[in-house]
């Protein structure tokens, strides 16, 4: 174990270069996380109809709420690979389980990368012994690096909380870049905590945290073939136990929320060609889901996103997007702010010098816009990026 | 009348430079179309909640099914201008009607350009006499040019058909570029025909043609503040009469369809920064609307559109988009073609050398992709463009 790296007890890590991303290089593309004792676990996976083989296996295996190990590869998504893809993932996790001396059902696979190509099973198999041997030296930063695809940097977070049974830690790692929704870049996240919590409560907390964080990037129906968030709790034999009371539940939930939000923000900030992170906040929407619908329509509009890139306080594009979101409100009653700068108040463009002030806000690397529809109580936020020329260049590159 | 321009009888045209786009220049930005006698008319307007003042007036005035003149301006959308905007449009069309000696209800306004700025009413008013005087010399090409905003060229079409009462003509003009959906660039189109047809039949034919053409670019809910298609029929005292039979109806409908499709294609090909036009065709979808939903999701995906730009036959992105469209099908039973090249057959990537063949198809300026979901009978097409770096550059330009 690298002594300098902040650590979380109860889990071990290892990574290897299996040549999945590119044969013959030493880029890490295989990662392993092992819990020293049976942990409870929960997952949220893609809603895409084209879910990958590892997603299917994750769903099946985590239904029990127990997990010991996660085998992660980048470079190949094992998606749209049919029965063969499923067999490959079952074989590899099975062999790994045997090596670790645990049940195969306690190992889940996560994959990200190219769609429609069979996993290079032999190259991965060859590396399994090295992966296991590396568990004593590996760090979670290695695993975070091994899961990267177009990411320009690993994304990790380590947080500490306090329960009635004492302090506990939470470690998160994730990969994902891409322009986020409506994009399909895969998002993988693993969150580990050293406190025990019963699987059903864990799942509840994850669903809640996910809806407030990752789902504000890649919301239902807008996910890739492989998107997966897994949380494992209580690894290690000395793990404390989360109490059943409200305060403990809140302490755990808020830490999980914080870990997810940190990873979500790191993903957005690493968006392909992104130079800005923008929070689109919609309030006063009529009825449940309406605010998210409007926020998402604004956040996904290429015209709005290019205006963000141009640092152009083009409120017309923002309101026009809102107007086509399929939500009923009175356009002549709304308030719009860019940062703290009021642009439209009760449907009237403010007469002050809003333009240069708003432009200054948009010159920042992070800012928010807020639209109050004044048509109800629903509210939602959506994180997005600007859209730059570089985004197009990255994604138009011919693969081969 | 410019003798060299192909003409349609019964209508006169005029255009002027009113300095709406930019004061003091001679760029045409005001256009007038006058029917020599009362014509029947129908319109389809934006579904955006933020519809502009001219859209509201068009809806009201064309409810009667009669029209004599259309006053068009570019440079200012007269959108989000409230009661003032409505008064401005009513005043200007009223003064024009007086000048033409017709009822104000027979004049409709169309506007496109910047949102949220009051129309420069005085500058437009000043030009009304010149516009009217110009009716004897003007051409439809002048009006097509006057309606342009970010368009790089005017879009017109002139077609001839035959009815039981003899031959008839149809003339179309349109403006619109932008990346189309999910973009909000305004689309304005005017179609004129010299044959008489009763307003209700005219409206029916327009709804039908629109659903097959313009709606495949900017479908319901995805329209700008000002989108409008107006068709006028039977201008001029010598217009023939469309018979009530099936053959006449078909002759008219197919010509109107053809005119709309030609304008739609011209708009797509003039898309901001677009270098390719792609037809996304989806067949075998389960139930009404399902094919359009899938086609649209594919056609709007930035990842798919950038792959088009890179001439990359990235079928994974196409299928993954389809998988998140919210339509149920079996991904392992679909067929996918790029042009005539089969890529996926019954859920299996074909083993031949599809990649270079598909790449060659994509090197063309126009190509199609076809996805057969084999889950039903519904089918739909959606026209889209590639997404280039230039698209971002155009739209990120700071306005001022």
Q: Give whole-number Cα distances, B66 to A287, B51, B203, B239, in Å.
A: 40, 22, 12, 15
Residue A3 lies in a domain: no
Is there a single domain that holds both residue B212 and residue B322? no
Chain B CB contacts of A302 below 8 Å: 179, 182-183, 302, 387, 391, 395
| Mean pLDDT, residues A97-120 | 95
Is there a single domain that holds both residue A233 and residue A292? no
Among the listed residues B93, B149, B150, B186, the single catalytic one is: B186
Chain A CB contacts of B224 below 8 Å: 320
Is there a single domain that holds both residue A193 and residue A315? no
Determine the Cα angle at A262 with ends A260 and A268, to 5°. 100
Q: Nearest CA to A368 among A329, A396, A340, A332? A: A340
Is there a single domain that holds both residue B291 and residue B225? no
Spatial contact of A96 and A58, defined as CB atoms under 8 Å apart: no
CATH code of residue A263: 3.60.70.12
Active site residue B193: no
| Mean pLDDT, residues A318-334 | 92
Higher-pLDDT residue of B219 and B241 is B241
* Residue B255: pLDDT over 70: yes
Question: Which residue on chain B is closest to A319 by alpha carbon?
Answer: B50
CATH code of residue A367: 3.10.20.340
Is there a single domain that holds both residue A216 and residue A304? no
Is there a single domain that holds both residue A31 and residue A107? yes
Is there a single domain that holds both residue A263 and residue A305? no
Q: Which residue has the tokens 């003042």?
A: B53
For B364-375, write each residue's pLDDT tens digit: 999 999 999 999
DSSP A32-49: EEEEEEEEEEEEEE---S
Sorting pLDDT into bands at 50, 70 and 90, what band is A259?
very high
Domain housing B232: 11-269
- The pLDDT score that the predictor gives to residue A221 is 47
Chain B CB contacts of A389 below 8 Å: 389, 392-393, 396
- The pLDDT score that the predictor gives to residue B220 is 46
Of B116, B324, B399, the CB nearest to A221: B324
Q: Which of A45, A46, A50 to mutate to test the interface with B (most CBs of B within 10 A)?
A: A50
- The pLDDT score that the predictor gives to residue B397 is 65
Of A50, A323, A392, the CB nearest to B320: A50
Q: Which pTM does this prediction carry?
A: 0.79
Question: Which segment of A165-179, B215-229, B324-338 scores lowest on mean pLDDT?
Answer: B215-229
Cβ-based contacts under 8 A for chains A and B: 177
CB neighbour burial string for B24-44, b if at least 16 within 10 angstroms, e if fewer: eeeebbbbbbbbbebbbbbbb
* Residue A291: pLDDT over 50: yes
- Beta-ladder partners of B361: none
Percentage of residues of chain B with pLDDT beyond 90:
67
Q: How many domains does chain A have?
A: 2
* Residue B114: pLDDT over 80: yes
* Residue B181: pLDDT over 60: no
- Beta-ladder partners of B337: B342, B370
Determine the Cα angle at A242 with ends A237 and A248, to 5°. 155
CA distance B13 to B7: 11
Sorting pLDDT into bands at 50, 70 and 90, what band is A26?
confident
Residue A31 lies in a domain: yes
CA distance B277 to B275: 7
| Mean pLDDT, residues B169-180 | 82
| Mean pLDDT, residues B250-278 | 89
Is there a single domain that holds both residue A256 and residue A284? no
Sorting pLDDT into bands at 50, 70 and 90, what band is A7?
confident
Residue B1 lies in a domain: no
Beta-sheet pairing, B341-345 with A378-385: unpaired
| Mean pLDDT, residues B106-114 | 95
**B49 vs A: CB within 8 A:** yes
Residue B389 lies in a domain: yes
Q: Which of residues 217-256 of B touch A (CB under 8 A)?
A: 221-225
Of B185, B331, B396, the CB nearest to A307: B396
Chain B CB contacts of A332 below 8 Å: 82
Where is the domain boundary, B269, B298, B319?
Answer: B269
| Mean pLDDT, residues B47-61 | 95
Q: Nearest CA to B312 among A180, A115, A13, A337? A: A115
| Mean pLDDT, residues B48-58 | 94
- The pLDDT score that the predictor gives to residue A220 is 46
Query: Considering chain B, what is the average pLDDT of its residues?
Result: 90
* Residue B219: pLDDT over 50: no
- The pLDDT score that the predictor gives to residue B23 is 76
Residue contact B392–A387, C-beta within 8 A? yes
Where is the domain boundary, A217, A244, A269?
Answer: A269
Residues of A catalogued as catalytic: 186
Spatial contact of B66 and B40, defined as CB atoms under 8 Å apart: yes
Where is the domain boundary, A269, A287, A302?
Answer: A269
| ipTM for the whole complex | 0.75
| Mean pLDDT, residues A283-293 | 93
Q: What is the CA radius of gyration of chain A?
A: 22
Spatial contact of B84 and A349, defined as CB atoms under 8 Å apart: no
Residue A139 lies in a domain: yes
Chain A CB contacts of B329 below 8 Å: 49
Question: Which segment of A256-260, A387-391, B173-177 scores lowest on mean pLDDT?
Answer: A387-391
Residue contact A306–B47, C-beta within 8 A? no
Residue contact B184–A321, C-beta within 8 A? yes
- The pLDDT score that the predictor gives to residue B222 is 63
- The pLDDT score that the predictor gives to residue B214 is 87
* Residue B266: pLDDT over 60: yes
| Mean pLDDT, residues A281-285 | 96
| Mean pLDDT, residues B193-217 | 92
Spatial contact of B48 and B220, defined as CB atoms under 8 Å apart: no
> A273 to chain B, minimum CA–CA distance in Å?
11
Residue B67 lies in a domain: yes
Residue contact B312–A392, C-beta within 8 A? no
- The pLDDT score that the predictor gives to residue B400 is 35
Q: Which of residues 339-368 of B touch A (CB under 8 A)?
A: 347-349, 355, 359
Of B80, B310, B329, the CB nearest to A316: B80
- The pLDDT score that the predictor gives to residue B1 is 43
Chain B CB contacts of A319 below 8 Å: 50, 80, 115
Q: Which of B177, B224, B392 to mutate to test the interface with A (most CBs of A within 10 A)?
A: B392
Question: Which segment of A18-22, A31-35, B214-218, B236-240 scores lowest on mean pLDDT?
Answer: B214-218
- The pLDDT score that the predictor gives to residue B130 is 97
Sorting pLDDT into bands at 50, 70 and 90, what band is A178?
low
Residue A191 lies in a domain: yes
- The pLDDT score that the predictor gives to residue A393 is 77
Sorting pLDDT into bands at 50, 70 and 90, what band is B124?
very high
Chain B CB contacts of A329 below 8 Å: 49
Sorting pLDDT into bands at 50, 70 and 90, what band is A219?
very low
Is there a single domain that holds both residue B70 and residue B166? yes
**B333 vs A: CB within 8 A:** no
Residue A34 lies in a domain: yes
> A237 to chain B, minimum CA–CA distance in Å?
41
> A397 to chain B, minimum CA–CA distance in Å?
6
Question: Which residue on chain A is closest to B355 by alpha carbon?
Answer: A400
Q: Which of residues 188-207 of A touch B (CB under 8 A)?
A: none
Chain B CB contacts of A80 below 8 Å: 316, 319, 331
Is there a single domain that holds both residue A100 and residue A157? yes
Task: Write out the H or E segment, with its range, that includes residue B362.
Answer: helix B354-362
Chain B CB contacts of A221 below 8 Å: 324-326
Is there a single domain that holds both residue A34 and residue A135? yes
Question: Which segment of A150-154, A241-245, B141-145, B339-343 scores lowest on mean pLDDT?
Answer: A150-154
Q: CB under 8 Å to A63, separation ≥6 — which residues?
A: none
* Residue B353: pLDDT over 90: no
Sorting pLDDT into bands at 50, 70 and 90, what band is B271?
confident
Sorting pLDDT into bands at 50, 70 and 90, what band is B399?
low
Higher-pLDDT residue of A22 and A16 is A16
> A355 to chain B, minimum CA–CA distance in Å?
10
Is there a single domain that holds both residue B246 and residue B286? no
Q: Give whole-number Cα distances, A88 to A52, A120, B162, B372, in Å.
A: 12, 9, 64, 28
For A186-218, write each residue's pLDDT tens digit: 899 999 999 999 999 999 999 999 988 888 775
Instruction: Specify the DSSP class assigned to residue A152.
Output: S
> A334 to chain B, minimum CA–CA distance in Å?
12
């Amino acid at each position: 174990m690298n002594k300098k790296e902040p650590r979380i007890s109860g889990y071990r890590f290892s990574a290897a270069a299996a040549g999945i991303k590119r044969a013959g290089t030493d880029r890490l593309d295989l990662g392993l996380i092992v819990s020293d004792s049976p942990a409870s676990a929960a997952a949220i996976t893609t809603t895409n109809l084209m879910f990958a083989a590892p997603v299917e296996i994750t769903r099946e295996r985590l239904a029990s709420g127990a997990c010991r190990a996660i085998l992660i590869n980048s470079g190949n998504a094992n998606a749209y690979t049919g029965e063969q893809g499923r067999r490959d993932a079952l074989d590899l996790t099975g062999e790994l389980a045997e090596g670790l001396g645990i049940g195969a059902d306690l190992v889940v696979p996560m994959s990200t990368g190219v769609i429609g190509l069979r996993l290079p099973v032999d190259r991965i198999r060859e590396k399994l012994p090295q992966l296991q041997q590396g568990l004593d030296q590996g760090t979670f930063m290695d695993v975070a690096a091994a899961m990267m695809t177009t990411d320009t940097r690993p994304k990790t977070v380590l947080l500490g909380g306090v329960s009635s049974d004492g302090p506990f830690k939470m470690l998160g790692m994730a990969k994902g870049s891409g322009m986020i929704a409506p994009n399909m870049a895969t998002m993988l996240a693993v969150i580990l905590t050293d406190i025990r919590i019963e699987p059903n409560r864990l799942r509840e907390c994850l669903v809640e945290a996910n809806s407030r964080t990752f789902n504000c990037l890649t919301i239902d129906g807008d996910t890739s073939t492989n998107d997966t968030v897994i949380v494992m709790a209580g690894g290690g034999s000395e793990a404390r136990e989360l109490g059943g009371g409200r305060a403990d539940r809140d302490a755990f939930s808020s830490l999980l929320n914080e870990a997810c939000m940190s990873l979500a923000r790191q993903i957005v900030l690493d968006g392909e060609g992104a130079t800005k992170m923008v929070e689109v906040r919609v309030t006063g929407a009529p009825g449940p889901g309406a605010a998210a619908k409007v926020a998402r329509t604004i956040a996904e509009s290429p015209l709005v996103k290019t205006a963000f890139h141009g640092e152009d306080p083009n409120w017309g594009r923002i309101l026009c997007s809102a107007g086509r979101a399929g939500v009923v409100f009175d356009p002549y009653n709304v308030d719009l702010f860019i940062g703290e700068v009021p642009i439209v108040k009760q449907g009237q463009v403010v007469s002050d010098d809003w333009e240069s002030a708003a432009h200054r806000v948009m010159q920042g690397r992070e800012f928010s816009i807020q639209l109050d529809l004044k048509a109800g109580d629903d509210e939602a936020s959506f994180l997005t990026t600007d859209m730059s020329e570089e985004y197009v260049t990255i994604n138009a590159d011919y693969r081969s």
